[in-house]
Amino acid sequence: MEQAADGDWVVRAITGASTAKVYRCPGCDQEIRSSVPHVVAWPEHGAGVEDRRHWHKACWNARDRRTPGVRRSRNAPKF
């Protein structure tokens, strides 16, 4: 579980599944093939499976840069 500015999140690392499913990363709006290692995260108090989101690992780690109201002590790179 991770604590973040936007709440508590349950995070699972996906090492790469054999299914052909494709997810869309909410961080960069690019597709994630399920064969690619990534993370799936959902709010701790979420309703269920529908709340789960698949993210690139880097996008998940960078998501707080995109959260309004969160200030970082150093300049974050622009994308």
Please, what is the minimum distance in Å from the beta carbon of residue 62 to Zn ion?
9
Please, what is the minimum distance in Å from the beta carbon of residue 22 to Zn ion?
13
Please, what is the minimum distance in Å from the beta carbon of residue 78 to Zn ion?
16
Nearer to Zn ion, 14 or 28 (CB): 28
Residues 57, 62, 67, 72: is their CA dihedral positive or negative? positive
- Ranges within 14-73 binding Zn ion (CB under 5 A): 25, 27-28, 56, 59
Interface with Zn ion (CB under 5 A)? 25, 27-28, 56, 59
